[in-house]
Amino acid sequence: MDLKQLEYFVRVAELGSFTRASMALNVAQPALSRQVRLLEVELRQNLLVRNGRGATPTDAGKLLLAHGRGILHQVERAREELGRVRGALAGRVAIGLPPSLARVLTVPLTRAFRAQLPEASLSISEGLSVTMLEWLTTGRLDIAVLYNAQPAGEIDIHPLRDEELLLIEPRPPGLSEDPPSSVSLREVAAMPLVIPSRPNAIRMHVETEMANIGCRPTVALEIDGVSAILDLVADGAGAALLSRNAVASSIRPSAYRMRPVSPPLKTRLCLATSSQRPATLTQQRTLELIRQLLV
């Protein structure tokens, strides 16, 4: 049995579509279909039912899917064990980060990863929480850091810490310190805000909290990018709701003043992994690195 053919079959069965599997594997769909068909010929079994809605595993396919996941995981573990014989863990780890956190975490995480896992390779992508959840499901990511994530059937969620969102405004001339007084959430709702578009997790959280007090945000601009949001705030386009880290990692943190919101706007930072693919030793070590840097 060819391991590549097995991997292709498992991905098609998990995603329920040759098209989605082709995108996740970065393999041309005709080649993917041909390799799965060769596997069926070798095993003398129809493994998938192909129809206009996608592909679903037959009874034989379900059996092979259960075994195939375990086989592929054991192969990855074997590669890691061989790496340990050489004295180091190996393998590739793909991580997804929200844009606001990527600005703060990418450099220290990369440094720690290279220092502790020199034989392994690291891939970091930025994305919205809803997008990264899909990437976890399809196997494009091994680990994602998300805001306000909820456990799902194929996703395991591990809370890390709570972050407070602050009102970010241009710093008035001559003001050297941030004012200690807070601003009410109702007042914030009336201000022109530069805010990410839906379904950004922070945007959804802000709208939910404002709806709880009977109001909605006054959206001046929808911008999906922390750097662009801060540039527009500095230019006077409106205020923003961001974490302290987002401002601290900007090019000109002194250009902004930060005010707490009352009641506090808190978001929960979480680690997410796929329950369908147990973490390898290299991935487990990477999870530990992320926890050390964020907790």
Domains contained in the chain, CATH given: 3-83 (1.10.10.10), 89-160+269-294 (3.40.190.10), 162-267 (3.40.190.290)
Residue 176 has a pLDDT of 66
pLDDT band at 57 (very low <50, low <70, confident <90, very high): very high
Instruction: Give pTM, 2 decimals.
Output: 0.71
**Dihedral of alpha carbons 289, 272, 70, 8, sign:** negative
Does position 178 have pLDDT exceeding 70, yes or no?
no
Helix (H) or strand (E) holding 57: strand 54-57
pLDDT band at 70 (very low <50, low <70, confident <90, very high): confident
pLDDT band at 183 (very low <50, low <70, confident <90, very high): very high
Does position 81 have pLDDT exceeding 90, yes or no?
no
Does position 218 have pLDDT exceeding 90, yes or no?
yes
Identity at 141, one-letter amino acid code: L
Which is more confidently placed, 85 or 1? 1
pLDDT band at 162 (very low <50, low <70, confident <90, very high): very high
Does position 23 have pLDDT exceeding 90, yes or no?
no
Helix (H) or strand (E) holding 34: helix 29-43
Q: How many CB atoms lie within 10 A of CB 250?
A: 21
pLDDT band at 41 (very low <50, low <70, confident <90, very high): very high
Mean pLDDT of 263-290: 90
CB 136 within 8 A of CB 155: yes
Integer Cα distance of 106 and 108 in angstroms: 6
Enumerate the H helices of 44-176 as residue ranges.
59-85, 99-116, 129-138
Percent of the chain past pLDDT 90, that is, above it, reads 52
Q: Which residues, other chains included, contact 129 with Cβ-Cβ below 8 Å and sequence gap of 6+? A: 98, 144, 146, 147, 148, 149, 199, 200, 201
Indicate the range of 86-100, 181-195, 208-222, 281-295 predicted with least confidence.
86-100
- In the block, tokens 């750097």 appear at 227
DSSP reduced 3-state for 122: strand
Strand partners, 270: 146, 159
Integer Cα distance of 199 and 131 in angstroms: 9
CB 184 within 8 A of CB 262: yes
Percent of the chain past pLDDT 70, that is, above it, reads 97
